[in-house]
Structure 1
């Protein structure tokens, strides 16, 4: 029997046969910002939004996601059977499909998920996500809560380096694929160092651009002489009578085959020729060659490369160790796993550590760091400190997930990795959009002040300690 605890047009809360409360989403609901819905009010979520607009359904799922929503975090997540096969990448966070929220099989699955969490001593209620490192922690904790103790490698659409199914439905946003790849690599190396994961089986080998690390590459066969890819493959004809060997096009004469050396017509009865091989001919310069060159275009940084320039990378499977499962289940990992490799808002120490990390990275070739420093004064910060782990202005700036940021007293820093040829463009865009957002915040908060103080450029072949020292010294002035 269904007990309706709350009857809203956009959602209802019902009780299943095992006395679990199910939040039924009938329309798009911003759960985290709906005061009438509390974390303790429900045990599982059922998506019952069926709209002809795919993006509308995706929004409803995102706002109730056990991975992204604070009130729904880690809770069993089900969807109407009518949505089966229509959710694309979001299917990875669906625990099952059911005809109704009170379905018996769904009720059993919910109890099994909670039983698994109890066996793991899984801590369900955690603090809100603040930094990108914590986003990664939540992603891994979610996988463990669903007994996914390994993350295998398979191609992932839209990721420049692909190959990480665990991150298929995560916090990454458009334009972040390069940053995401670097942060995942750092994250894995840190977890290996701490003994939280171990290498599993070898899966594949991919090749990456040496400049940006992207693996979305285009390959073009091209002429060794003029580099054009306008080439054609044709047979080579060997004329037995005069031993001439040349491309078939040189034999073509008025629709028949005539030897260009001895001018005799080739016989089709009592054949006096064969085709021992094939040869390429360039349509632009008429050069003939046995093997074309291979030209590679990186779709990320638009550089043209040779195949010898590419960097090979092994793709392997990772497995969580018992220590890793315990650490993530109990949320002990946040105090031991450094955040230095992650973008988003972070501590000042981790912000400065990233400069050191960047200077040592073998993948920083062709990139520099752009750091923009603002002076900010927010009289609301003290009054709201007890209500929020972050200063109010940080919440307002949280949409800039492509930047690493830190607040040091009244100095607000933003950092971006930039290809050297794009510095002027990116620097101008950073300064413009950050000032615009801070100006909007000032319009809504009386007494708030800000000023762009300086923009710094850090090159990886220079002393990181000198650069960090410069930031620290100028902060005092």
Structure 2
């Protein structure tokens, strides 16, 4: 049984309806001009097979599906909501009115921008980011940030995260790397293709590799070990001794290490005026713990003050940028 069919909606648009696993680009019988959009109608297939189909029909890099509207059966809505930036909608069937209307919006936008469906093969990082921008423009998504953090990502960065997510399924993706996005932003800014529109958030980066994936941990301010414990300070009223509680511990009771008297009643014999941090490695006691930062990418460990500050901003494409990305001879 052929795992696909080509249907026609009420506006005459041809829909490649995929009903089983198929590698579109490798199927010689299917030509780029044979269909205007894709609809993955696979409610009986496994989650992983559907993910693989989403990778094979990528509107960013597929030769035959480039920029074309793509929809998924509503049955998969909850399973693939995180990939929404790369799915144009969910519907019961390929000819539903919502599919027809949304597809027309996208195809009209592609036509107005003079975008093509047959751009060359994506070979380099620059090629990929150009295709990423073309995809966003084709969907009318002009504003974006350069962060893949869920709370900070928007537009292009959300599409980038979804792309990496889906392509990890077929072993040809890497973890989303904000360094690439920041490098892209610097290139586009220098070229006048984008411009900042507002400040979003300030983050901090590893001073060595510029990664934003950082692990903060409390530590001993003397030896930098994380093997520290928090404990109460005890103030003995009788002799005015103030020491960590561990120094008062004596055979299950509290005994002053200075005058050797036992402490019976809090508020009468003693109080707990503060907490301290004691290092289990070097034995140092301090009122405040230190803080160290380890980069999860390169492993470099440093102090918070040595991190590199970076401002997350929202950008938008300029007219010069739109013309550049829509050009056919890049």
TM-score bin, normalised by smaller chain? 0.7 to 0.9
1:237 to 1:214, Cα distance in 2 relative to 1, 3 A: same
* Equivalent residue, structure 2, for 1:68: 61
Distance 2:223 2:120 in 1: 61
- Please state whether the residue corresponding to 1:218 is helix, strand or coil: strand
Distance 1:82 1:144 in 2: 28
Gaps of 5+ in 2: 151-155
* Equivalent residue, structure 2, for 1:400: none
Query: What is the 5 A alignment of 1:40-439?
Result: 40-50=33-43, 53-87=46-80, 89-156=82-149, 164-170=157-163, 181-268=178-265, 271-331=268-328, 334=330
* TM-superposition CA deviations, 1:236-280 (whole Å, max 9, x none): 122233221111222233433332223333353763432221101
Distance 1:231 1:250 in 2: 16
Distance 2:120 2:283 in 1: 68
1:184 to 1:226, Cα distance in 2 relative to 1, 3 A: closer
Distance 1:24 1:233 in 2: 62
- Please state whether the residue corresponding to 2:106 is helix, strand or coil: helix
- Please state whether the residue corresponding to 2:85 is helix, strand or coil: helix
Shift of 1:182: 4.7
Distance 1:200 1:184 in 2: 17
Contact residue 153 and residue 165 of structure 1 kept, 8 A: no
1:154 to 1:302, Cα distance in 2 relative to 1, 3 A: closer
Distance 2:8 2:94 in 1: 9
1:52 to 1:175, Cα distance in 2 relative to 1, 3 A: closer
* TM-superposition CA deviations, 1:103-135 (whole Å, max 9, x none): 122111111222333443444443333433222
Contact residue 13 and residue 22 of structure 1 kept, 8 A: yes
Shift of 1:45: 0.4
Shift of 1:141: 0.4
Aligned residues: 320
* TM-superposition CA deviations, 1:378-429 (whole Å, max 9, x none): xxxxxxxxxxxxxxxxxxxxxxxxxxxxxxxxxxxxxxxxxxxxxxxxxxxx
1:310 to 1:27, Cα distance in 2 relative to 1, 3 A: same
1:193 to 1:227, Cα distance in 2 relative to 1, 3 A: closer
Distance 1:11 1:87 in 2: 21
Distance 1:30 1:270 in 2: 77
- Please state whether the residue corresponding to 1:189 is helix, strand or coil: helix
Distance 2:148 2:274 in 1: 37
Contact residue 49 and residue 60 of structure 1 kept, 8 A: no
Out of 32, 45, 69, the residue aligned to residue 39 of structure 1 is 32
- Please state whether the residue corresponding to 2:197 is helix, strand or coil: strand
* Equivalent residue, structure 2, for 1:365: none
Shift of 1:149: 0.2
Give the alignment's Cα RMSD to 1 decimal.
2.7
Shift of 1:156: 4.2
- Please state whether the residue corresponding to 1:138 is helix, strand or coil: helix
- Please state whether the residue corresponding to 2:162 is helix, strand or coil: coil
Shift of 1:52: 5.6
| Higher alpha-carbon deviation: 9-18 or 248-257 | 248-257
- Please state whether the residue corresponding to 1:168 is helix, strand or coil: helix
Contact residue 255 and residue 263 of structure 2 kept, 8 A: yes
Distance 2:280 2:323 in 1: 64
* Equivalent residue, structure 1, for 2:153: none
* TM-superposition CA deviations, 1:433-475 (whole Å, max 9, x none): xxxxxxxxxxxxxxxxxxxxxxxxxxxxxxxxxxxxxxxxxxx
Contact residue 229 and residue 277 of structure 2 kept, 8 A: yes
Distance 2:272 2:173 in 1: 51
1:13 to 1:241, Cα distance in 2 relative to 1, 3 A: same
TM-score relative to the length of structure 1: 0.61
- Please state whether the residue corresponding to 2:48 is helix, strand or coil: helix
Distance 1:81 1:97 in 2: 5
Shift of 1:72: 0.9
* TM-superposition CA deviations, 1:59-92 (whole Å, max 9, x none): 1111112112111111110000111121265332
